[in-house]
Amino acid sequence: MAFVKSKVFMLCLILLLIVAGACTSEQPQTAPGVASQTAQQEQARREAATPPQSPATTGAAKNGAQADAHHHGMGGASDVPAFETSPSSLKKLPPTLAPDMFGGQQQVAYRMAKEIPQTLAQLPCYCHCDKGFGHKSLHSCFVDDHAAHCAVCMDEAVMAYRLQKEQNLKPEQIRERIIAQFSSQL
C-alpha cells in the first residue's frame, strides 16, 4: 500500500512540475545537462525581452556579505533563486533522503547531497523550485524526491560536490560558478 501511495505522490509531483513549469527537465529519464529545444527557445525569448543583470545587481551577492538568511533575485532572465546564508539556518538543516531509495544518477546525486548539505543550502536552484514549491535552496530539493525528477537539481549538486571536493572551493565560490553556469541555461 505504501508503494502505491508513493507512486501516486510521484505522479502528482510530476504533473505539478509539468503544469507549473518549475523544472526544465522533460522526463525523469532525461540525462542531466540536456536542455530541450523548447527550453532553449524560451530562454532566447526571455533574454530578448529582458536586459541581463549580473548576480551582483540582483541583490543575491553583494561584497560576499548577505543582509538576511534567505535570498531571492530581483527578476529578469538572470533571476537568482533563493539560497541560505545564516549560520543558524545552516545548523538546523533537515536530512536529505537516503541515497539507497534511488538508483542510477539519482542515487549518485543524493549521495553527493548527503555529504555536502551545508554547501547545497547556500546555493540557488535554477529549476526555480523556490517559486513553485517554496524551496529555500538547492538543499531543499534533496529533502524530498524533487531532485530525483529534475536534471537541473542533480546537475547543480554534482557540480557543487566536485567543486568542493576536487577544487576545495568554498560555498560562496561554488555559488558564483552555479550562478554563472545555470543562469544562462534558462
Least confident of 2-11, 67-76, 161-170: 67-76
**3-class DSSP assignment, residue 70:** strand
DSSP E strand stretches across 13-154: none
The pLDDT of 10-38, averaged and rounded, is: 43
Q: How high is the pLDDT of residue 79?
A: 83
Neighbouring CB atoms inside 10 A of 164's CB total 19
pTM of the prediction? 0.61
The pLDDT of 46-71, averaged and rounded, is: 35
Q: How high is the pLDDT of residue 74?
A: 36
Is residue 120 within 8 A of residue 102, CB to CB? The reply is no
Neighbouring CB atoms inside 10 A of 123's CB total 27
Number of domains within the chain: 1
Q: How high is the pLDDT of residue 185?
A: 75
Q: How high is the pLDDT of residue 69?
A: 40
Q: Residues 6 or more apart from 156 whose CB is under 8 A from it?
A: 123, 125, 126, 138, 178, 182
Please, how many CA atoms are within 13 Å of residue 133, restricted to the half-sphere of its CB? 27
Residue 49: pLDDT band (50, 70, 90) is very low
Is residue 184 within 8 A of residue 81, CB to CB? The reply is no
pLDDT for residue 115 is more than 80: yes
Q: Residue 61 belongs to what domain range? A: 2-25+34-185
Instruction: Give me the sign of the Cα torsion angle 124, 33, 183, 149.
Output: negative
